[in-house]
Amino acid sequence: ADLICMTDTSIDIGPTRHGLTHGKTIYFFDPSGNRNEVFCGGDYNYQDHKPVTSLAKDLRKAIFYHDRVLNERFMTVLT
């Protein structure tokens, strides 16, 4: 996020964490208006870890774990 802000680039969402993958992510728009995502990390793998099942009613938490909010722009602009 710091590097993105140093170039006066507009941050769309984040930094945040995906609920499904546990990956860290940030979305921003490049000068051409395209939304980009920087993603790192991912799921944890432990032998005794029980599977996590996400339901449609939990979509907000599955996509944006911290905010648990789906904004309309995220659902209408392709990444």
Give me the number of domains the chain comprises.
Answer: 1
- Within-domain flag for 27: yes
Q: CATH number for the domain including 36?
A: 3.10.180.10
* Of residues 23 and 19, more confidently modeled: 23
Distance CA 55, CA 57 (A): 5
| Within a domain: 20 | yes
47 in any annotated domain: yes
Question: Average pLDDT over the chain, rounded to whole?
Answer: 82
Longest CA–CA separation in the chain, Å: 46
According to the model, what pLDDT value does residue 79 have? Answer: 62
Note whether residue 79 is domain-resident.
no
Residue 11 has pLDDT above 80, yes or no: yes
Which pLDDT does position 36 carry in this prediction? 92
The answer to whether position 60 is within a domain reads: yes
What is the CB neighbour count within 10 angstroms for residue 68?
Answer: 13
Range(s) of the domain holding residue 64: 2-72
DSSP 33: S
Condensed to tens digits (0 to 9), the pLDDT of residues 34-60 reads 899 999 988 777 788 787 777 888 877
